[in-house]
Copies of this chain bind each other. A is one copy, B any other.
Amino acid sequence: MVLAGTFRAHATAVVESDSIGDGTAIWAYSHVLKGASVGRRCNIGDHCYIESGASIGDDVTIKNLTAIWEGVTIENGAFIGPGVTFTNDVYPRSPRMKQAENRYRGREWLAKTVVGEGATLGAGSVVVAGLTIGAHAFVGAGAVVTHDVPSFALVIGNPARVQGWVCVCGSRLEFVQTSTKCESCGMKFRQTEKGLEPLRPPGGADA
């Protein structure tokens, strides 16, 4: 582990970006490319790849064996499990194949993905390009996400379907009629037509 400015990088890592926040750690055999942006106090495990144009907020945890492509934005406090697979093209072909050359001349193929604040992408999950994972949502291990995920929703399966709701702290929420209180941290929510809404802002949840 060597100290490079104010972030740390393992001796085997390759860090080409000059936009990495204070207190971030980048572990073995990981590669952060020039033009990638990584926030403060992040932890990036072994064998990761952060591409030019990827944007990662503060306090994000990225476990091992994950590649974050151009077009992927990960907001503050998100958890990206081991072996999570992102994409940035809805119907990829090899750009080197003659019949696909036209499509890859421009940038219209690039589909963006947003992982909201404090969300969790479970181990081995796969996220199809062009989707938004809502704040504090929870994608279960091995899920294949093919639609947007509402904030606070728990989704599992292939394709991933909403199976319940979770608190900011990660605990499952059980609803009595249309409102609930997290039994673990005490935070309160109500159900609306669009999904879940905290009754107090997340930052005040443990007040």
Contacts and interface: CB of A to CB of B under 8 A. Distances in A.
A159 B163 CA distance: 13
B91 A170 contact: yes
A59 interface: yes
Given A81-B87, A94-B60, A169-B93, A118 B99 contact: yes
Interface in A168-197: 168-172, 185
A97 to B, nearest CB: 3
Contact of A78 (B87, B94, B95, B124): B94
A57 to B, nearest CB: 10
Interface string A40-83: 01110111010000000011110111010100000011110111
Contacts of A92: 79, 81, 120, 122, 170
B49 A64 contact: yes
Given A64-B49, A83-B85, A126-B123, A93 B141 contact: no
A45 to B, nearest CB: 8
Given A31-B46, A158-B158, A170 B103 contact: yes
A138 B67 CA distance: 21
A14 B14 contact: no
A2 interface: no
Contacts of A169: 93, 99-100, 102-103
Contacts of A185: 99, 102
Interface of A: 12, 14, 28-29, 31, 41-43, 45-47, 49, 58-61, 63-65, 67, 69, 76-79, 81-83, 85-87, 91-100, 102-103, 118, 120, 122-124, 126, 128, 138, 141-142, 144, 146, 156-159, 166, 168-172, 185, 202-203, 205-206
